[in-house]
Structure 1
Amino acid sequence: MLTIWGRPNSHNVKKVVWFAEEIGRPFVRLNIGGAFGITDSYREMNPNALIPTIEDDGLVLWESNAILRYLAARYGEGTLWPADPAARARGDKWMDWQFGYADAQRDAFLNLVRHSPEERDAAAIARSAEATAKMMAILNQALADRPWLSGDNFGVGDVPMGVYAHSWFALDIERPAMPHVEDWYARLRERPGYAAHVMIPLT
């Protein structure tokens, strides 16, 4: 049994829980982080005191994208984790690209989700919305000639930005039309694990 530590509305936890569903790996998720706090025993597993952390057959691992790569290599090799290194790399690069996107989205997310209306910084939200739109335009172009970031088929490369795409569409910000991103997002919403674990309230 795979054990996942982390609160359900964390972007990074959503990645791992959703992907566990995709690979068919039974799991239990334990609440920690945010309002649930961080325990000393958790710090012993993850000295960064960040979420998520997993335990799988004795392996304790943290850093969400490292977890995804491990799960894909162990349980999804040849399908969700292509055997061909070049094919794998084409999808894999979007996993690291997501970190830059998360930085761009942070101010809009924090202001609109974590702050009261009276505390919000409208200028910071606008800057964040503009920055995310520029990055989504790159994603939109990448999806113009392929259905998935991973290539012809859904793969682990779609997971990190798949989680952040839901936030982009859910946040109350100005969004230019991105037809290829919108089509990709519609395909993601058809996946049961995505609907169950990603498309939940942002708060």
Structure 2
Amino acid sequence: MLKIWGRTNSSNVKKVLWCAEELGLDYERIDAGGAFGVVNDPAYRALNPNGLVPCIEDDGFVLWESNAVVRYLAEGDPERRLVPSSRQDKASAERWMDWTTSTIAGPFRDVFWNVVRRTAQDRVETELSRGLDSCGRLLAIADKALAGQAYLSGEKFGIGDIPLGCLAYGWFNMPIERPDLPHLAAWYERLTERPAYRRAVMIPLT
């Protein structure tokens, strides 16, 4: 059985859990990271020397890095339901995966930590303001793309939607001021209708 190490409130772990739920995979999730520890244990470091989550083991094959895991699980689906059919469409979807990780994740973390995980006394207002400005500007790029297609993966939901979709839940549910991005909001509403998204992503923000 597929094993997934990670805590459910990690956005990177959510990617993998959401993908697994979309594909209807049987898996065992093992609490790791944050308050659960485990990630510095020698046995875990032998699996993932970075000491981060998620990490998976699939019939003896070990893989870490959340986007790589999502791609691996999606490619293993005989029906390839989450993978665009053409080479170019697949590359376009994967672009959004990597863009989210390399470009949005940092400023989003600044917002999330200051709004959700830090107390009011510990909040760094300059960091929060900078994160909000950056997220608003960057999410406008996705909003523009979504004006012409239903999903970041194209006309059908797929792997390209998963990384940003995990952050979108926090973005639309934190008590913050957000710019009006109607196409992004409509895309998010479509995601909330997916049972797998509701199970893996739409959990309390912590």
Please report the TM-score for the alignment, with normalisation by the length of structure 2: 0.95
Aligned residues: 203
- Give the AA of the match of 1:40: P
Match of 1:46 among 38, 48, 54: 48
Identity %: 50
Tell me the residue number matched to 2:77: 75
The answer to whether the Cα contact below 8 Å between 2:84 and 2:153 also exists between their aligned partners in 1 is no
Give the C-alpha shift of residue 76 in structure 1.
5.7
The residue correspondences of 1:84-123 to structure 2 (distance < 5 A) are 84-99=86-101, 100-123=103-126
Q: Which residue of 2 aligns with 1:193?
A: 196
Shift, 1:104, TM fit: 1.5
Match of 2:24 in 1: 24
Q: TM-score, normalised by structure 1?
A: 0.97
CA apart distance, 1:79: 2.7
Answer yes or no: is 1:165 the counterpart of 2:168.
yes
Distance across 2 between alignment mates of 1:182 and 1:153: 17
TM-superposed CA distance for 1:117, in Å, is 0.8
Q: Which moved more, 1:34-43 or 1:70-79?
A: 70-79
Q: State the partner residue of 1:4.
A: 4
1:136 matched residue in structure 2: 139
Deviation at 1:77, TM superposition (A): 5.2
State the match for 1:58 in structure 2: 60
Mapped contact 2:168–2:188 kept (Cα < 8 A): yes
Q: RMSD between aligned alpha carbons?
A: 1.1
Structure 2's unaligned 5+ residue stretches are none
Q: Encode CA deviations 1:105-145: one digit per residue, 9 max, x unaligned.
A: 12111111221111111221111111100011001000001
Contact 1:23–1:76 (Cα < 8 Å) also in 2: no
Gaps of 5+ in 1: none
